[in-house]
Amino acid sequence: MEYTQQTFKIPALKGISQKTIDEHMKLYAGYVKNANGINSQIATLSNDPAEVEKNTYMINELQRRFGFEFDGMRNHEYYFKSFEGGPAPLGSACTLRAEIEAEWGSFDVFLGRFKSIAMTRGIGWAMLYYDAQAKNKGGSPGKLTVTWVEEQHLGHLTGLDPVLCLDMWEHSYMLDYAPSEKKKYIEAFFDNLNWTVIEKNFADAC
C-alpha cells in the first residue's frame, strides 16, 4: 500500500503566516514520502524468505522508524484539516460540546486543560481523543480524554480515535513566534480552528 499526500484548502490564517504553513506542508510531505520509502525497503528486504534472517536487524530498525513517520503523516492530516473552511465556533447544540461539558464541567475548563498540556516542555502534540471502550462520568459508553504525545508517536493511546490534534513542534510556530512565545501560537491555533471539522472527527469516532 502506498500513502498519498493530501492537499488542504487552508484560508489565510490570523497569527499563523502563509510561510509557516508552506514550510510546514513540506515537512508533512516528507513524512508521507518516508512512510512509503520505509514500507518499500521493508518489502525489498523481506522478499526472499531465505534472506529475512540475515536482514532481521535492518527490517526491525526500519519498522521501528515507521511508527514515527506514519504518525507524523497522520497527525499532520488532522492538524491541517482543522483549518479548512475558516474559523467556526463549537455551537452550544453540538454533541461534542455537550460531551466536553459533561467530562470537564465546562468548555472553558477543558480548553484550559488542553492549552496547559500544549505548554508541555519539549516537542510533541496535545491531543484530544475519544475512547469508545470507556465510560464517561455519567456512566454512558464513550469518554473524551486529553494527553501529550512525545515527538509524533510516543504516548499515543491505543484504540483511541484522535479528535483534535495540536502540533507543538517548534517548526509549527518559530517563523511567527519565539520559543518563549509559544502560548501566542496556541491562542492563534484556536482563533483559526474550525470546530465543525473537530465535531465531524468526533462523530466519525463515535
DSSP letters of 38-77? HHHHHHHHHSSHHHHTTTHHHHHHHHHHHHHHHHHHHHHH
Record the pTM: 0.93
- Predicted confidence (pLDDT) per residue in 65-106, tens digit: 999 999 999 999 999 999 999 999 998 778 999 999 999 999
pLDDT tens for 103-120 read: 999 999 999 999 999 999
| Cell 474559523 belongs to residue | 87
Pick the closest to residue 116 from 182, 51, 180 (CA basis): 182
Compute CA distances 44 → 37, 51, 57, 169, 177, whole Å: 11, 10, 14, 33, 43
Instruction: Decide the pairing of beta strands 161-167 and 141-150.
Output: unpaired
Phi, psi of 60 (to 5 degrees): -65, -40
Cell 465543525 sits on residue: 196
User: What does DSSP assign to residue 106?
Assistant: S
Name which of 29, 161, 6, 16 is nearest 83 in CA terms: 16
Portion of the chain with pLDDT greater than 70, in percent:
100
Average pLDDT of the residues of the chain: 94
